[in-house]
Structure 1
Amino acid sequence: MRLNEVIFTDARPVDGYGPGFFRIAGEVHQGPMLLWDKGRADWGGLEDHDSLLGFVGVVDVLFVGTGAEIAFLPAELREKLEQAGLGVEVMNSPSACRTYNVLISEGRRVALAVLPV
């Protein structure tokens, strides 16, 4: 097996997660959060539509991690995101973190909105 060092450019990867927290580039952050190549912010969860709509035109795909289990987005939120033309992929939070890390290592324009497990 050949292992290669991954370079993340400006984006910071998700190093780990646990009950109620995420570790981003070595720093622990509590609660739901947003992560993209330009930074990290606290997130109000699935009711915080405006924060997610702020990614329109900034990223190509938004990964939404719904906690330990996959869940549907509220219909109103999904409609707003679709009307705005933002690509959204919904999955459980561990999968969303892994997928985000892979795509930022490729230099892709992605963001992560994630609820803790």
Structure 2
Amino acid sequence: MKLQADTPQPTSIIAYGEGWLQLPEHRYEQSVLLTSDGEHHVWACSSFEALTQQQMADLAVVARSAQVVLLGSGKRTRFPPAAWLRPFMAMQVGLESMDTAAACRTFNVLAGEGRKVVAALIVER
């Protein structure tokens, strides 16, 4: 039984590996922000250790209309400081932190269901 769409959505993650991820028409070798609305662009965060409170606040602005934000924290699951999550709580937008591979898979499932989701994916080498 075929469970996959004939043509992937523009922001579907069709492949990923160490140091890269592939959308249908674009390959990223650096961190990226994706939305289920079709937006995708480079995210200026080279590693989880380089993540700042301001970047999280900026992410909250991007996610203002999302139901959930997925933070792909790199090769392993890590969590930002609780104080950095205040903008998400104020907007009543959930933020889930997981390793980037899991965030890629979760993004595809949620976006495929028509959910409004934002993924901030840290791509590490």
TM-score, L = length of structure 1: 0.84
1:44 and 2:31 aligned? no
Q: Would the aligned equivalents of 2:63 and 2:118 in 1 still touch at CA under 8 Å?
A: no
Structure 2 regions of 5+ residues with no counterpart? 46-50
Superposed displacement of residue 31, structure 1: 0.9
Q: Which residue is equivalent to 2:48?
A: none
Aligned length: 116
Q: Which has the higher strand share?
A: 1
Distance in 2 between residues matched to 1:70 and 1:92, nearest whole Å: 4
**Structure 1 residues 8 and 52: CA distance shift in structure 2, 3 A:** farther
Q: Which amino acid aligns with 2:106?
A: T
For 2:31 and 2:104, locate their aligned partners in 1 and report how far apart those are by CA, in whole Å.
13
Q: CA deviation at 1:12?
A: 1.5
Higher mean displacement: 64-73 or 3-12: 3-12
Give matches, 1:17-36, under 5 Å: 17-36=16-35
Counterpart of 1:92 (choices 85, 94, 99) is 99
Aligned-residue sequence identity (percent) comes to 26
Question: C-alpha separation between the residues in 2 aligned to 1:7 and 1:110?
Answer: 22
* Larger displacement relative to structure 2 (26-35 or 96-105): 26-35
- The CA deviation string for residues 92-112 of structure 1, in whole angstroms up to 9 with x for no partner, is 000000000011111111110
Give the number of the structure whose residues are more often helix, by fraction.
2
Deviates more, 1:40-49 or 1:60-69: 40-49
CA deviations 1:13-46 (Å, max 9, x no partner) are 1111223221111421121110012310111233
| TM-score normalised over the length of structure 2 | 0.79
CA distance 1:65–1:113, change in 2 (3 Å): same
Counterpart contact for 2:15–2:22, Cα < 8 Å: yes
For structure 1, the 5+ residue unaligned runs are none
Contact 1:9 1:105 in 2 (8 A): no
Shift of 1:66: 0.3
